[in-house]
Structure 1
C-alpha cells in the first residue's frame, strides 16, 4: 500500500474510514478551525468592519457561533446555572452584536472555550441520546452534530467571503 501524506488540518480526510461519530466530529472541528483561520490575522478594526449590506462581520460571526455552541450543546444537553436554550430571533440577531472590548483575541479565545465545552458535553452522550427542544419537540445528539456542521460551515463560508473582501485571503486553509 502506498503511504499518502495528508495535511493534519484536514480532519474529515483523516476520519474517512471512521465511525459515524468520528466523521461528524471531524467535520465540525474542521469548520470550527476554518472560522478561526478567517478571524486570525485580521486587525480588530478589519474583523468588525461591515463589508456587506447586513451587519455581518467576521468578528460578529465568531461571536454568534460562540453563542450557538453554548446554546446547542450545554444549553440543551447539560445546562448549568444560567444556561438555557434560546429560541427567539431576537436572541439570534443579538448574538452577532459586538460589545466594546471585543477583540480578535478575546473572541477567538471565547470561541475556543465554547467549542471545548461543547466537545466535553457531547462526549458524555451517545449519538442516539434525545433531549427536548422547545421548537422541534426533541432532538438527538446526532441531529445536533449535523445541525452544527451545517451552521458552522455556512458561517465559515460567510467569513471566507468577508476575509476575501478584506485582504484577498481565500480558502479553507
Structure 2
C-alpha cells in the first residue's frame, strides 16, 4: 500500500483525487480562482498596476479579466443572459484588462468574489452534460466550460506567478505579502 505524503499538507485538488467528476472539476476551478486572488495579496496599488510586458497585462488587470471571463462563460453562455443585462465586461477581451484609477484591490477582489459566487450558483443548476449554443463551436457542455475555465485560469495564474516574482520575488500559489 502506498502511503500519501502529507508534508506539506495536501491542497484542495489533491484532496479531491478520488472524488466524483463534478467535484474534481469544481475543485480545480475554485483552486485557480483562489490562486488568482492570492497572487495579488499584500501588494500596493502601484505594484498591482505595474506593466512588465507590452500588453495590458498587470496583476490588477488579470483579476479584472478573470471576472470578465467568468461573466462570459457562466452568465452569458451558460445562463444565456444577454450581455447588456450583465454588469461589467462580459467579453474577456483586451478591454477586460483595463482597471480604473479609482478601483482598489478590495474593489477588484469583491467584484471577483461576487462574480465567482454567481458562476457557482448558475452552474449548480445544470448537469455536466447540459449544452448551450456557441457561435463558433456549435454547442458546448458545462463539462467543457469547466475544463476551459481550468485552462484559462491556470494560464493566467502562470502569468500572475511570473509578474509577482518580478515585482517582489514572491513565489508559489499561497498568499505571500511583500
Q: Say yes or no: TM over 0.5.
A: yes
2:110 aligned partner: 109
Q: Deviations over 1:47-70 (max 9, x none)?
A: 011112222100000000100001
1:93 aligned partner: 94
1:3 CA displacement: 8.4
1:50 aligned partner: 51
Normalised by the size of structure 2, how large is the TM-score? 0.87
Partners of 2:134 and 2:81 in 1: CA distance: 16
Q: Is the 8 A contact 2:129 2:142 kept in 1?
A: yes
1:83 aligned partner: 86
Aligned partner of residue 132 in structure 1, secondary structure? strand
Detail structure 1 runs of 4+ shifted over 4 Å in the superposition.
1-6, 84-87
1:7 CA displacement: 3.5
2:9 aligned partner: 7
1:26 aligns with 2:27: yes
Aligned partner of residue 145 in structure 2, secondary structure? helix
Partners of 2:36 and 2:22 in 1: CA distance: 21
Aligned partner of residue 95 in structure 1, secondary structure? helix
Provide the alpha-carbon RMSD of the alignment: 2.1
Unaligned runs of 5+ in 2: none
1:99 CA displacement: 1.4
Partners of 1:107 and 1:86 in 2: CA distance: 15
Unaligned runs of 5+ in 1: none
Paired residues in the alignment total: 169
1:119 aligned partner: 120
Partners of 1:138 and 1:7 in 2: CA distance: 40
1:171 aligns with 2:172: yes
Partners of 1:165 and 1:105 in 2: CA distance: 22
Q: Is the 8 A contact 2:132 2:140 kept in 1?
A: yes
Q: Deviations over 1:95-136 (max 9, x none)?
A: 011112111111111111111111110011010000001221
Judge which range, 34-43 or 72-81, deviates more.
72-81
Partners of 1:11 and 1:135 in 2: CA distance: 33
Partners of 1:16 and 1:120 in 2: CA distance: 24
